[in-house]
């Protein structure tokens, strides 16, 4: 099987054109980031790869979509793995962050509330801090809510992305092998995020350099998502992984004081190190190239 360059190009062009037009329109209309309206824009943005994949697969090529996109609901242990893996990311990122100079463990969540002042008025932050009688209970609730949201509403939004990246694109790039296809997907996935990042998504303190970081982060994340997708035989697991990762995004920095968005958190240097280790484990123990060849 050869790589269908035309099909891939059509998907990429349609996805980027629609997605970037959405952000451009939001900016023209004066939508402020970190607001409910911006969140709505982000959700719509996530469904564009699904729409693009369907247009290309059914509209242009008149080919079946469900099997090609890897949509099936046969349960296996990889569904559970995909659901819980982001908690491993969170724990690992938290521990790695503490190794950096100037980073401290903040059991009272002082660092978290200090960062929150960048987006929320000081008086409201003070009120929120008074309401936190037990930081441990906040962590437990956050984990619970993250797992529930990650497997439901967030997974639905994640599905909008994953049908494109881990559905159509992974299948079409399969002849390149696991790591080469992961590199291509990760690069495109990262570039696709750039308009959002420049507006303040993920790296609000460093939006310009954060755009570069996002590309690197997606390149590191892509093999992990691809591996789970292939092992489970379903793009749904990648959607659950995606949704839960988004829902537990803030956990690694809840009890951290110091640092910035380039250093701490799952999208910071600490997260990069954790993802690099996971990639190494996949390379050593996962036999991913054989896994890809069997698809």
89-122: pLDDT as tens digits: 999 999 999 999 999 999 999 888 888 887 777 7
d(CA 231, CA 243): 18
CB atoms within 10 A of CB 148: 13
The residue behind tokens 């409910």 is 36
Give the number of residues written for the chain.
295
Mean pLDDT, residues 174-197:
97
19-76: pLDDT as tens digits: 999 999 999 999 988 788 999 999 999 999 999 999 999 999 999 999 999 999 999 9
d(CA 295, CA 125): 51
The residue behind tokens 């690992």 is 92
Residue 93 three-state SS: helix
Q: Do 204 and 261 contact (CB within 8 A), yes or no?
A: yes
Q: What is the pLDDT of residue 131?
A: 80
Mean pLDDT, residues 161-176:
97
130-162: pLDDT as tens digits: 887 789 999 999 999 999 999 999 999 999 999
pLDDT category, 2, cuts 50, 70, 90? confident
245-281: pLDDT as tens digits: 999 999 999 999 999 999 999 999 999 999 999 999 9
Angle between helices 178-198 and 5-28 (to 10 degrees): 20
């Amino acid at each position: 099987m050869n790589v269908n360059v035309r099909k891939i190009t059509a998907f990429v062009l349609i996805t980027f054109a629609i997605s970037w037009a959405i952000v451009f329109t939001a900016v023209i209309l004066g939508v402020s980031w970190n607001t409910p309206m911006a969140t709505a824009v982000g959700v719509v943005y996530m469904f564009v790869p699904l729409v693009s994949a369907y247009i290309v697969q059914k509209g242009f090529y008149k080919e079946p979509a469900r099997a090609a996109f890897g949509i099936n609901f046969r349960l296996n242990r990889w569904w559970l793995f995909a659901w819980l893996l982001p908690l491993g990311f969170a724990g690992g990122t938290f521990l790695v962050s503490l190794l950096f100079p100037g980073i401290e463990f903040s059991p009272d969540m002082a660092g978290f509330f200090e960062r929150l002042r960048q987006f929320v008025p000081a008086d409201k932050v003070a009120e929120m801090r008074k309401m936190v009688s037990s930081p441990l209970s906040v962590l437990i609730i956050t984990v619970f809510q993250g797992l529930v949201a990650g497997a439901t509403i967030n997974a639905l939004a994640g599905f909008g992305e994953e049908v494109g990246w881990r559905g159509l694109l992974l299948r079409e790039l399969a002849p390149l092998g696991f790591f080469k296809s992961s590199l291509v997907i990760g690069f495109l996935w990262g570039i696709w995020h750039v308009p959002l990042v420049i507006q303040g998504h993920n790296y609000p303190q460093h939006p310009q350099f954060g755009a570069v970081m996002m590309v690197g982060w997606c390149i590191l994340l892509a093999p992990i998502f691809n591996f789970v997708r292939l092992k489970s035989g379903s793009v749904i697991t990648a959607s659950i992984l995606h949704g839960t990762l988004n829902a537990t995004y803030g956990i690694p920095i809840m009890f951290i004081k110091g640092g910035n968005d380039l250093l701490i958190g799952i999208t910071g240097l600490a997260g990069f190190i954790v993802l690099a280790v996971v990639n190494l484990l996949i390379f050593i123990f996962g036999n991913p190239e054989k896994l890809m060849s069997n698809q």
